[in-house]
């Protein structure tokens, strides 16, 4: 009986097990699930308010008008160059370069994450556009005219997932381990700038961009959690054999 009581007392509780750093079903999985749930909930909240009359659509229009009246020819050229870099072709081209490096390093898990995150996330977003069918901002003298749907922003989710994968991979390398904060900050900044470029050009509302960021980060968290949980499980099995 004493031995059984000792075993019971030494057995971690459910909460302690979920916070364990050395188990494949521990803290990494818990934080991943929480990240996915939080971003999904926030995305749903933004979609609910953005696609119905109210304060958020009014704010969207005010922000769109503010950027539109302050546009200048020189700034527009720079913004167009930046936003085209983060279009479908640009993101896929940068992803191909990263994929080539991952293949050279034989980083197969990271390559898989890149493939499901970037092209997969962009295709997922394309499907969401047809579900929500939000019309793009309208101006008498538009800077750029697009006839596809607006919500969520395709450029922004492309940047969100690509720079998330790139930042995560860089921070696992010896040179990047000590520079985690600036690497992550740069990834977030580039994603935000991509979203701002779409608002400036008048092809997306503020909420389109916010929703795309949440969608992209949630999509990245979803696949990162799945792939690396499986990898940790396989490593645990191999070490125990």
Yes or no: say if 193 and 138 are a contact pair by the CB < 8 Å rule: no
CATH number at residue 60: 1.20.144
- For residue 231, name the pLDDT band (cuts at 50, 70, 90): confident
Distance (Å, whole) CA 126 – CA 177: 34
Q: Of how many residues is the chain composed? A: 241
d(Cα 192, Cα 195) in Å, to the nearest integer?
A: 5
Query: And the tokens for 35?
Result: 């990240």
Buried b (16+ CB within 10 A) or exposed e, 157-174: bbbbbbbbbbbbbbbeee
How many angstroms separate the CA atoms of 4 and 179, rounded? 48
Read off the pTM: 0.84
Residue 93 lies in a domain: yes
Range of the domain at 144: 29-232
CB 203 within 8 A of CB 136: yes
**CA distances (Å), origin 16, targets 25, 114, 176, 215, 234:** 11, 32, 30, 30, 22
Is residue 119 in some structural domain? yes
Tell me how far apart the terminal alpha carbons of the chain are, to the nearest angstrom: 31
Give per-residue pLDDT as tens, 107-127.
Answer: 999 999 999 999 999 999 999
Assigned domain for 108 exists: yes
CA distance 52 to 206: 15
Domain for residue 85, yes or no? yes
At 169-216, the pLDDT tens digits run: 999 887 766 788 899 999 999 999 999 999 999 999 999 999 999 999
Tally of domains in the chain: 1
- Percent above pLDDT 70 for the chain: 83
For 123-145, the pLDDT digits (tens) are 999 999 999 999 999 888 888 88
32-68 residue pLDDT tens: 889 999 999 999 999 999 988 899 999 999 999 999 9
Cis before 66? omega within 30: no
């Amino acid at each position: 009986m004493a031995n059984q009581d000792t075993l019971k007392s030494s057995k971690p509780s459910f909460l302690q097990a979920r916070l364990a750093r050395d188990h494949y079903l521990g803290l990494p999985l818990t934080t991943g699930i929480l990240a996915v749930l939080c971003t999904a909930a926030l995305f749903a909240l933004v979609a609910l308010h953005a696609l119905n009359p109210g304060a958020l659509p009014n704010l969207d229009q005010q922000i769109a008008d503010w950027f539109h009246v302050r546009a200048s020819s020189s700034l527009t050229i720079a913004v167009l160059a930046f936003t085209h870099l983060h279009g479908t072709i640009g993101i896929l081209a940068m992803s191909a370069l990263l994929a080539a490096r991952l293949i050279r390093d034989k980083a197969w898990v990271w390559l898989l994450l890149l493939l499901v995150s970037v092209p997969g996330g962009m295709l997922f977003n394309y499907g969401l556009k047809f579900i929500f069918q939000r019309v793009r901002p309208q101006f008498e003298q538009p800077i750029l005219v697009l006839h596809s749907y607006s919500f969520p922003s395709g450029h922004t989710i492309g940047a969100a997932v690509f720079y998330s994968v790139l930042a995560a991979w860089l921070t696992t390398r010896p040179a990047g381990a000590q520079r985690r904060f600036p690497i992550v900050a740069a990834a977030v900044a580039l994603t935000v700038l991509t979203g701002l470029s779409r608002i400036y050009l008048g092809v997306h509302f503020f909420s389109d961009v916010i929703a795309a960021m949440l969608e992209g980060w949630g999509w990245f968290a979803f696949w990162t959690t799945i792939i690396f949980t499986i990898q940790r499980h396989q490593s645990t099995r191999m070490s125990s054999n």
